Amino acid sequence: MRPQDSRTRAGVARTGFYARTDPQGNQRPGPYQHLAEEFQRRLADLREAGTASDPRELQITRLKDENAKLRERVRERDARITELTEFKERALSQLAAQHEEILRLRQRADSPNNVRTLPTARKSRITGPCV
């Protein structure tokens, strides 16, 4: 916990944790200066023991992790964009090929050589029970 957090909750002004200097240059301790000194001493002890890390180091680590996650998201989105672009190109190519095939079939259907004569029906009489 930072001293700012407990100070804010207690409703204590920040200046209460520091010594004050009057116009004559005399220093007089702030009303809560002993608490600030105790906090700084405990924090230094924890840092020496290795159990409390520097908040800047924690922030750097957190920002590096966040940066790595964001870079991964960008890579995933770039890959997805590449996939979709390739799909679009394939779809357009297929549509163009289908259009060409439709035009070819229409030309073939419109040509006069496309008409065939069908064999004529036989004129023989069918024999059987239905006659």
Beta strands 27-28; 20-21: pairing state: antiparallel
**How wide is the angle at C-alpha 18 spanned by C-alphas 12 and 24, nearest 5°?**
125
pLDDT band at 26 (very low <50, low <70, confident <90, very high): confident
Residue 130 lies in a domain: no
Could you tell me if residue 115 is inside a domain?
no
Count of domains for the chain: 2
Q: Which of 26, 30, 1, 28 is CA-nearest to residue 13?
A: 30
Q: Give the pLDDT score at 42.
A: 82
* Domain presence at residue 30: yes
pLDDT of residue 47: 75
* 58 class by beta-carbon count within 10 Å (0-12 exposed, 13-18 middle, 19+ buried): exposed
Q: Which residues contact 16 (CB under 8 A, 6 or more apart)?
A: 30, 31, 32, 33
Model pTM?
Answer: 0.45
Query: Which residue blocks in 19-126 are alpha helix, DSSP H?
Result: 33-49, 55-110
73-112 confidence digits (pLDDT tens): 999 999 999 999 999 999 999 999 999 999 999 888 887 7
Shared domain for 78 and 94, answered yes or no, is yes
57: its two tokens: 């180091």
In the prediction, which pLDDT does 113 show?
78
- Supply φ then ψ for residue 65, to 5 degrees: -60, -45
Same structural domain, 89 and 59: yes
Q: What is the mean pLDDT of the chain?
A: 82
Write out pLDDT tens, residues 50-70: 776 677 888 899 999 999 999
Q: Domain containing 8: what range? A: 1-52
**How many whole angstroms separate alpha carbon 97 and alpha carbon 106?**
14
